[in-house]
Amino acid sequence: MTIPFYVPPEQQVRDKAEFARKGIARGRSIIAVDYADGVLLLAENPSTALHKISEVYDRIAFAGVGRYNEFETLRKAGIRQADLMGYLYSRDDVTAMGLATAFAQTLGVIFTRDPKPYEVEILIVEIAEQGQDEDGDAHRLFRVTYDGTLYDERNFVAIGGKAEQLTEALGDLWEESMSLERALEVGTEAFRRAEGRDSEGWEAAVLDYSNGRRAFRRLTGDELPAT
């Protein structure tokens, strides 16, 4: 009789985590930065077809790093959930907190039960209607990791392979109530410090009060930083 191969649970968890982190580290990073009129999302992305940043619902945006097919699956599921919640109840019931919690639960189940975890890290960003939500807090910046861990960030956040270096750079560069132009300068300088080189191309979008209820707007052409 063949003896089944046994792997201690703690070793299996460590192996899955290392596998996921290596996959995410190969992806290009993304940052989200508060500025005077909303939130800027900026990614190094040479492709003009495969977007890493997108609208989810009204004042909510999604960004993902890692395996494109995996975070794209999560993005579409999030849009479906947001649309259903808004249709069945109220548009005001669709929140970044609710979506981020659902993503965290999904990734946690995948990490625990499936042989291969998702090699992704995602951001869910929401701007408040008047710059502050009902609790008096700033914009919502949620980071969800490959194992379903959910982080509530403030002012700025980075995900991807260079997240630690980007966070350190943003800590030195970020300014309260920046203009969008200044936020772009801060973002690109943070990437330059983290990567030690010039970018090969940018993808950027904003959640901005001036856009009305549908706050998401993708930056194009001359609005993008120079490469």
Domains of the chain, with CATH numbers?
A: 28-217 (3.60.20.10)
> 174 with 152: CB under 8 angstroms?
no
Closest CA to 99 of 154, 55, 135: 55
- Write out pLDDT tens, residues 48-63: 889 999 999 989 999 9
3-state secondary structure of 198: coil
Copy the structure tokens of residue 99.
Answer: 């979506």
Long-range contact list for 218-223, CB < 8 A, 24+ apart? 218/53
- Averaged pLDDT for residues 153-182: 94
Measured CA to CA, the distance from residue 131 to residue 167 in angstroms comes to 23
Q: Give 198 or 150, the one with higher predicted confidence.
A: 150
Contact 78, 47 (CB under 8 A): no
The span from the CA of 102 to the CA of 8, in Å, is 29
Closest-CA residue to 83 (of 74, 72, 94): 94
- Higher pLDDT: 13 or 97? It is 97
Query: 42 - beta bridge partners?
Result: 31, 204
pLDDT of residue 176 exceeding 80, the answer is: yes
Q: How large a percentage of the chain has pLDDT more than 70?
A: 93
Please state the length of the chain. 227
Q: Tell me the mean pLDDT in the region 104-125.
A: 95
Q: State how far the Cα of 93 lies from the Cα of 87, in Å rounded to an integer.
A: 10
Q: Residue 59 class from Cβ within 10 Å (0-12 exposed, 13-18 middle, 19+ buried)? A: buried
Q: 131 pLDDT exceeds 90?
A: no
Is the pLDDT confidence value at 137 over 70?
no
**Interval 3-56: pLDDT, tens:** 566 667 788 888 899 999 999 988 889 999 999 999 999 999 988 889 999 999
Question: Quick check: 64 pLDDT over 60?
Answer: yes
In angstroms, how far is CA 54 from the centroid of its own chain? Answer: 10
> Is residue 73 predicted with pLDDT exceeding 60?
yes
Q: What is the 3-state secondary structure (H, E, C) of 84-119?
A: HHHHHCCHHHCCHHHHHHHHHHHHHHHHHHCCCCCC
- Closest C-alpha to 30, from 222, 223, 167, 128: 167
The predicted pLDDT at position 11 comes to 83
Query: How confident is the model over 131-141, as a mean pLDDT?
Result: 63
Residue 13's pLDDT is what?
86
Contact 187, 162 (CB under 8 A): no
The mean pLDDT value of the chain amounts to 90
pLDDT at 1: 52
